[in-house]
Amino acid sequence: MDESKKRLVQRLMRKIPTKMLKTTLEKWGRLTGEQQRAMDSIQSKWALTENLLAICEENELAVKHLTELEMIYMIDNPDQGMWYAFQLTDPGDDAQSVDLTQFKEQFKSHLRELVREVSIKIKKHTDEAVWIRIAWGDASSHPDHLKPTYVVHYLQTPYVFVTRLTSKQKPMLSQAMVLSTRYQYFKDANLSGRNLTAIRDLLMRKYQQVFPTKYPSPLTERKQTVTNPHVEREQAKPAANRLQMACEAFGGGTLPQLQSAVYKLETKFRDHTNTLMTEREEPFRCVVKFSSTNLLESLKNCASSGIASTPVTPLLSSIPLKGKNYFVITDNGPGPSSQMRQTQN
Amino acid sequence: MEGASTKGILSHLSLLEVQVRSLTTQRQQPSRVKELQEKTAALRRQKEQLEAEIQTHRDLQTLRASLDKRHDDDEEDEEEMEEDSENSDVLRLMARHTQLKDLLNAHTIGGYDFTKTRRGKGLCVSIATAFEGVYLETFTLEFDVKPALRLVRHDVPPFIPLTLLIEQSRIQTDIRTLLDPLSRQLNGFTARKRQLQLLKRLHETVKVMESNLLCSLIILMFELPVEKKVVLCSLHYCDTSRSLPTRVSFQCDDTALPDFPEWKKTLLETPLHKALSTIRNTGNIL
Amino acid sequence: MSAADETPDMERHQNSVMRTPLNSVAVQRRSKNKSYRLSYRNRIGAASRLGLTPGLTARRLNTSRKAPKSNKITVTTEQLTLLVKTEWKLSYVTPLYRFRHTQLKIYSRQLSAFIAAEKQQGLAVDVEGTQNTFRVSFSLVLGMTESVDDAVTVHIQIHSKPLFAKQDEPQKPVWSGWLTCINGNPEYLRSLPKDFICLPLFCSSGAGGLTSLVKSWFQQSFDCCFGPLEISHTSLQWLMALWTNCQSESSIRQLKMIWTLPVEPQLQVTYTVDAEDAWELWSSVRKKNTAGEGEENSIDIEEVMSFMQGLKAHFFRHFRLDLSAGSLNEVSTALGSAKHSGMIKFSNSKYMITTLMLLTECALLKMPI
């Protein structure tokens, strides 16, 4: 067996936890019943790897079969590494009618035109997501299957989710994507996170948004901290109001799990107690990063508990509203796409 | 006729036009003259029908006027219309129906639920969708009112071309130029999604080979029990504001098999799950 | 009275009491039911809180301190490299009874033996030559004092061989620590009975097991007590100001603060300010220096507070989120970093003394009287 195949098997086995191995191998369906049973009985990771190597030899499995196994595992466990969102803009007239077969063919041929040594695998998941695995090579080397790029796209939507893409590979992916989806541009959506589902739900608006409609859905706060009945009565109304505004800004129910949001502030320092700084021409440069295990949930609780004033500032509500978690804030004028004007009040 | 009376005569006409067009594309063979003759006959029938409708509508108007007046005058002169027509009972009921409908419409401006927000600075519009009498999802848009009407946020899925619809509308002067086409798009989408769900639930032997989020392309696979052949059926919904496909095609290894014109017609005219029931009931597929 | 008899009990007491004067703002914000306990406190606690007893007023953090100056340090570069760029865990130590700077060689041997003995206890079989696995060396760090009353800093290093190392492999440093006193309160230092050496600040880095072994050897040998030294909110703010003040001489690169806000799930805010802008804000809140030419440039607590207020206000103006509701956990610049949990790192030896003066002060506040 050649070295690269062996390394791929070892790497795969290192990545897939033992308890998930069984189902993943079953879905793969390349093992005979007997082989599968043999794998199930082995405990140590090392022995499992050795056994799988032997099976690959026996069943004459090639690298493409192994990448299939990797994809199966990846699709089921996408929340690893950083995912970056990209947005396709300026759709052509036929963008809405691109179908999977068309897309597959075109994507492969466009990318192969740009990079000769490239291995592409496309697989559609049950939730309509098109998963693309790209192993890149160059003029002098074969595709590197140990560092593949993963791309997730839902046809007819302008969003593309990518993990493990280098800046060198980006222009090529961009061009292949644009051509095969019939859009004009492929640009950074300024949204990233470890949880693919979260950034997808945020951009596809697949989370419960709360609107100030006539018949609001009943909002329930998970934890009741106030116990004194008098205090409770006194605070009930403003608290309910704060909760409503917090939900309107960040959403209701389970919120998409973002880990962080970054603001690059280049705004003037304004403080009536400090004339020296207020009169200064240059902006006050700083970077603010908010992080949490579930950022939107934390911010929502800040607003509902009163740590953050309500109505919530547009800077914070822009995270779900614009589906971004990287912002450059300046005082004046529109600039690059990620910029946002500072609202003064 | 429900669709026609609410959407207006013109859209009904265009609906018929589409139907006529699809009929003609199916049957290319007959001579042009015969085709035109048929068309004239069809149009004449339609004209007669429309005239009848207009007459009924006039009658209804008079009834409505008197009904509304009676409502205002605390039900004074009751026995006015009695001898006018033998259908007066039906007409009266219809008049009452339209009256109630108008009342309902007045509450939810033309089927949309409007809410003023942020002390008049914002506006929220909810668009409810329905298919075959069942309410489906409701979508909401929130606008800033000042200085100009501007969409702030919404929960419309990304495959609905909302930006395009806004560009094509005159939202500053008439918000309905956005809401009406959007509502059609949303209704079309939810209706197709619903049909696909029903199909999966009701027809387990039919396999969905391919579909997308917008439900604008559905490829089905089913078996012909007699011929023992597998057939692929592709449904294209090129007009995404509609719940019915614009193009249906079949694919089969056996080229000797006909192009299933009957099935095409059924699939183009009836909702997917019902069409398949019809086809299945004739015993043609498993 | 013998300090040895008293300290354990005193220390437990001090732990809760002495935190108060450090940061009265923080205490007020903490739960209300704590305040009644104050009235039950012993004379020291109550007195120092009110600041009435003249002899005890020094037991609060200074409200004014000298601006840091560079190149004060005369320590050899070799010894300096041992102290900088390592993150140290801070503890305070009560005065050492009969500690002699002249007997470091003996202490080295004693501590080696102590560690070997303790380690051996854990093993089931007697291993030949365990005594040689840990080599301890005590050394003096000369030149790192600020006043005549400061005791000379003592540095301890433990070398060891990895468990499965080859015979001829050299020993590697596995643990280091030092005890220091920089500009300790002279009134306090002079009030100590003869035979007590005060090195209140203990910095350690390395395996936790070794830290506790070193501590227990000190406790047994010099009748002293150790306790964790946290860096209070006020001290962190002081460090921010002191470090930012250095920007004109040596770039701080950026001023970084990490806050945590008490929401579920916990929200962390990292606020990083450009070095030049931080310096400008700092200069804008500095009062006109009334001191004449050549006099020491001093920094006042009010200036520190205005600096912080300015930073918080700028943040609030953008995010409408009140940082005061949370706690400042960490501050860092190119000169060093400090964490509330009691971790400190000196990245630039030039301004180390100022930081150590502040930390010595904090440690002395924990001392029993």
Is the model's pLDDT at A175 over the cut of 50? yes
- Report the neighbours of B using a cutoff of 3 or more CB pairs below 8 angstroms: A
3-state secondary structure of C114: helix
Is the model's pLDDT at A223 over the cut of 60? no
**pLDDT tens column, A49-104:** 999 999 999 999 999 999 999 999 999 999 989 999 999 999 998 888 888 999 99
Q: Does the structural domain A229-341 have CATH classification 3.10.20.720?
A: yes
Contact A288 C270 (CB under 8 A): yes
Token output for A46: 């090392």
pLDDT at C148: 86
From the CA of A157, how many Å to the nearest CA of chain B?
A: 5
pLDDT (tens place) for every residue of chain C, 369 residues total: 443 443 344 434 433 333 333 333 333 333 333 333 333 233 333 333 333 333 344 457 788 888 776 655 677 888 888 899 999 999 999 999 999 999 999 999 999 999 988 887 765 444 444 445 789 999 999 888 888 889 999 999 999 877 666 777 788 899 999 999 999 999 999 999 989 999 999 999 998 899 999 999 999 999 999 999 999 999 999 999 999 999 988 999 999 999 999 999 999 999 999 999 999 999 999 986 555 444 557 899 999 999 999 999 999 999 999 999 999 999 999 999 999 999 999 998 888 998 999 999 999 999 876
The confidence band for B55, taking pLDDT boundaries of 50, 70 and 90, is confident
Chain A residues in contact with B216 (beta carbon < 8 A):
96-97, 156
Determine what percent of chain A is predicted with pLDDT higher than 90: 71
Is the model's pLDDT at B64 over the cut of 90? no
pLDDT at B14: 67
CB nearest A293 (choices: C265, C273, C320): C265
CB nearest B115 (choices: A99, A209, A213): A213
Could you say which residues from 154 to 183 on chain A have a Cβ atom under 8 Å away from some Cβ of chain B?
154-159
Is the model's pLDDT at A342 over the cut of 60? no
From the CA of A196, how many Å to the nearest CA of chain C?
A: 20
Touching check for A217 and chain B: CB below 8 Å?
Answer: no
Touching check for A259 and chain C: CB below 8 Å?
Answer: no
Q: Which residue of A has its CA nearest to C314?
A: A269
Contact A214 B115 (CB under 8 A): yes
Could you say which residues from 157 to 176 on chain A have a Cβ atom under 8 Å away from some Cβ of chain C?
none
CATH class of the region A83-203: alpha beta
Task: Give me the torsion for CA of A174, A180, A183, A189, rounded to 10°.
Answer: -40
Indicate the domain borders of chain B.
2-107, 110-190, 204-281
From the CA of C216, how many Å to the nearest CA of chain A?
A: 39
Q: Which candidate, A141, A86, A130, places its Cα nearest to that of A108?
A: A130
Chain A residues in contact with C326 (beta carbon < 8 A):
307
Mean pLDDT (whole number) for B52-76: 74
- Does C192 or A229 have the greater pLDDT score? C192
Chain C residues in contact with A291 (beta carbon < 8 A):
267-268, 270
Indicate the domain borders of chain C.
3-60, 77-228, 233-341
Beta bridge pairs of residue A136: A118
Could you say which residues from 284 to 303 on chain A have a Cβ atom under 8 Å away from some Cβ of chain C?
284-295, 297-299, 301-302
Chain A residues in contact with C318 (beta carbon < 8 A):
263, 265, 267, 288, 313, 315, 329, 342
Are C267 and C325 spatial neighbours (Cβ–Cβ below 8 Å)? no
- A186-190, A228-232, B15-19: range with highest mean pLDDT: A186-190
pLDDT at C240: 96
Chain A residues in contact with C285 (beta carbon < 8 A):
274
Which residues have CB under 8 Å from A27's CB, separation 6+? Answer: A72, A76
Mean pLDDT (whole number) for B32-37: 86
- Taking each helix axis as running N to C, give the angle between helix C301-319 and helix C233-244, from 0 to 180 degrees, rounded to the nearest 10: 100
Q: Which residue of B has its CA nearest to A201?
A: B157
Q: Which candidate, A126, A227, A105, places its Cα nearest to that of A176?
A: A105
Contact A284 C267 (CB under 8 A): no
Contact B126 A211 (CB under 8 A): yes
- Report the neighbours of A using a cutoff of 3 or more CB pairs below 8 angstroms: B, C
The residue length of chain C stands at: 369
pLDDT at A141: 85
Q: Which of A123, A191, A208, A211 to mutate to probe the B interface, most B CBs <10 Å? A: A211
Contact C321 A298 (CB under 8 A): no
CB nearest A313 (choices: C266, C273, C320): C320
Contact A156 B213 (CB under 8 A): yes
DSSP for residue C147: S
Q: Which candidate, A338, A161, A176, A190, places its Cα nearest to that of A265?
A: A338
Topology given in CATH for the domain delimited by B110-190: Copper Amine Oxidase; Chain A, domain 1 (3.30.457)
pLDDT at B139: 92
Is the model's pLDDT at A126 over the cut of 90? no
pLDDT at C29: 37
Average confidence score pLDDT of chain B: 81
**pLDDT tens column, A240-269:** 889 989 999 999 989 999 999 999 999 999
pLDDT at C134: 86
Chain A residues in contact with B240 (beta carbon < 8 A):
96
Q: Which residue of C has its CA nearest to A329?
A: C318
pLDDT at B72: 59
Mean pLDDT (whole number) for B36-57: 90
Contact B212 A128 (CB under 8 A): yes
**pLDDT tens column, A145-160:** 999 999 999 999 999 9
Mark whether B and A touch (3+ CB pairs within 8 Å). Answer: yes
pTM for this entry: 0.80
From the CA of A282, how many Å to the nearest CA of chain C?
A: 9
Contact B117 A212 (CB under 8 A): yes
Chain B residues in contact with A91 (beta carbon < 8 A):
161
pLDDT at B66: 77
Touching check for A263 and chain C: CB below 8 Å?
Answer: yes
Task: Give me the torsion for CA of C283, C285, C291, C294, rounded to 10°.
Answer: -20
The confidence band for B282, taking pLDDT boundaries of 50, 70 and 90, is confident
The confidence band for B11, taking pLDDT boundaries of 50, 70 and 90, is low
CB nearest C284 (choices: A276, A286, A291): A276
d(CA B244, CA B266): 11
Are A313 and C318 spatial neighbours (Cβ–Cβ below 8 Å)? yes
Contact C261 A285 (CB under 8 A): no
Is the model's pLDDT at B240 over the cut of 80? yes
Token output for C292: 């004449």
Q: Which of A263, A287, A307 to mutate to probe the C interface, most C CBs <10 Å? A: A307
Beta bridge pairs of residue C159: C135, C173
Q: Which residue of B has its CA nearest to A322?
A: B153
Is the model's pLDDT at A167 over the cut of 90? yes
From the CA of C36, how many Å to the nearest CA of chain A?
A: 21
Contact B158 A205 (CB under 8 A): yes
Q: Which candidate, B269, B219, B248, B217, places its Cα nearest to that of B18?
A: B269
Q: Which candidate, B91, B280, B115, places its Cα nearest to that of B204?
A: B280
Contact A204 B211 (CB under 8 A): no
From the CA of A152, how many Å to the nearest CA of chain B?
A: 14
pLDDT at C73: 65
From the CA of C303, how many Å to the nearest CA of chain A?
A: 12
From the CA of C301, how many Å to the nearest CA of chain A?
A: 17
Q: Which residue of A has its CA nearest to C262?
A: A302
Average confidence score pLDDT of chain A: 88
pLDDT at B114: 80
Chain C residues in contact with A295 (beta carbon < 8 A):
267
Contact A298 C272 (CB under 8 A): no
Chain B residues in contact with A206 (beta carbon < 8 A):
157
- Report the neighbours of C using a cutoff of 3 or more CB pairs below 8 angstroms: A
Contact A284 C314 (CB under 8 A): yes
Q: What is the 3-state secondary structure (H, E, C) of chain B?
A: CHHHHHHCHHHHHHHHHHHHHHHHHHCCCCCHHHHHHHHHHHHHHHHHHHHHHHHHHHHHHHHHHHHHHHHHCCCCCCCCCCCCCCCHHHHHHHHHHHHHHHHHHHHCHHHEEEEEEHHHCEEEEEEEEEECCEEEEEEEEEEECCCCCEEEEECCCCCCCHHHHHHHCCCCCCCHHHHHHHHHHHHHHHHHHHHHHHHHHHCCCCEEEEECCCCCEEEEEEEECCCCEEEEEEEECCCCCCCCCCEEEEEECCCCCCCCHHHHHHHHHCCHHHHHHHHHHCCCCC
